[in-house]
Amino acid sequence: MVCALLLYAVGGLAKFTNHGLLAGFVFSAGILISALAAWLSRGRDQEDPPDDGEPVDEQPPPGPDGIPRFDWAAFERDFRSYARSRPKVPAR
């Protein structure tokens, strides 16, 4: 980023001394350097492939301890009884 700021300063100086072509070139270089710095400073995404030193988990663990299981059958029963108890209102 320091290089980009330096290039912007040189471009501004060139613009004020009526060197338009040089100012355009230097400003363009500063923009390219800024974009490269932003791209290099981005973080890793979870979807990025792991590095060589990281272990690769093919599948998640079958059932980690401590995590409660969700009872879908009980959910369906409770939902159906709730839906039957509600009055049916036609859509307008």
Query: pTM (2 decimals)?
Result: 0.45
Cβ atoms of 14 and 36 closer than 8 Å: no
Best CA proximity match to 4, nearest among 34, 37, 25, 26? 34
Choose the weakest-confidence range: 37-46, 69-78, 79-88. Answer: 37-46
Mean pLDDT score of the chain: 80
Other C-beta atoms closer than 10 Å to the C-beta of 19 total 14
Mean pLDDT of 63-72: 70
CA 77 to chain centre: 39
What number of other Cβ atoms are within 10 A of residue 33's Cβ?
18
Asked if residues 3 and 33 have their Cβ atoms less than 8 Å apart, the reply is yes
